[in-house]
Structures are given as structure tokens and as C-alpha cells.
Homo-oligomer: A and B are copies of this chain.
Amino acid sequence: MDRAVADRPYHHGDLRRALLDEAVAVIAAEGPSVLSLRDLARRIGVSHAAPAHHFGDKRGLLGAVAAEGFDLLATALEAAYEHRGDFLEVGLAYVRFAVDHPAHFEVMFRRDLYAADDEEVQAAERRAEAVLYGPIAALVPGADVVGVGVAAWSLVHGFATLWLSGNLPGLLGADADAAARRVVTKLFVKD
């Protein structure tokens, strides 16, 4: 820590990236309510006002985290759909994203944490939504696309939320992917 204070050059190099990564780490470890710009700056070794330059304010930082999250999610869903062509796999990829990126996931759907009109967020969000509804219309022609889409989204989103918040009983085991498959097939597969 003394080293960081002593050697550090006036310009960090990529402070924005460093702040985002550190923020994600802190949120994943202790939750977004604990996050503080000053603590973040302290961890990285810059002054307490440095973060404001890159993100405006705290909401700006969290908006950037959300935008990055929606972008990562869209990429993951697109990959799952293109690779398997199976809508079930898209749902499982949604859960996998949430488990692998809990900090992003939590911030994304906590709209009180960032500005509603954040353009960066909205663009990334539209990308993710397209993968959510597109395949349904293609795969299940004539279906109640909106109803089925929201049901599927609700199921995987609810499962991911409950899993991450530790609300699910231990009965499902520790393997999130297997548990998700067991649960999600209750909707997608008729028996």
C-alpha cells in the first residue's frame, strides 16, 4: 500500500477499467450497498475524487456496470442460441451468466441504482431483449409469444435471483447448472 502511494504516477493509465473491475469485485463480495467511491479510490491508490471524473457520480459508475452486464449477457445468450439452436439452452445460459457474473446481474436489475435514461445501458439492453424474444417467434409459430417469452424469462430470472440470494433450499445441491436444468425443464418440456 505504501508502494502504491509512493511509486504511482500522476496518471493511472486505465483508471476507468480498474475502477469498474474493483467495483465488480467489491459488489460480488459484499453487495452493492457497501460500495463506496472513496473506498474504491483508496483500494486502487488514487484520490477520493478521481472516480467522479470518469463516471460523474456513483450512479454513473453503477450504470457503467449495468451496461457492461447487459452487453455480456447479450453476447452469452447469442452464443448459446447460435451454437445449440435450442431455446432451453438460452435459458440455461441466462442462469449461467447470473451465477458467473453475480455483481453485474444484481446491479443490472436494480434500476434504482443507476439513471433510468442511461443510453449506454439502454442500447445493451435492447440487444439482450432481442435474443430473448426472437427465437420464440421463430421456434414456436402461432404461440403466445409474449406470454411464453415472459414466462421463460420469469422462470430463469426468478431462479437466478433466488439462487444468488441464497433463498433456495440446500435440496438442489451445489451445482447451479444441474439445478437450473432440473427446474427449467418443468416449463420447457411437457411430460
Residues of A within 8 A of B (CB): 30-34, 109-113, 144, 146-148, 150-151, 153-159, 161-162, 165-169, 171-172, 179, 182-184, 186-187, 190
Contact = CB atoms under 8 A, between A and B. Distances in A.
Nearest to A158: B158
Nearest to A133: B169
A81 B83 CA distance: 43
Contacts of A187: 151, 155, 186-187
7 contacts: A34-B112, A109-B167, A148-B186, A150-B183, A151-B183, A154-B155, A158-B158
Given A33-B112, A187-B187, A154 B165 contact: no
A150 B165 contact: no
Nearest to A161: B161
A157 B161 contact: yes
Contacts of A31: 112
A21 to B, nearest CB: 21
Contacts of A158: 153-159, 161
Nearest to A30: B112
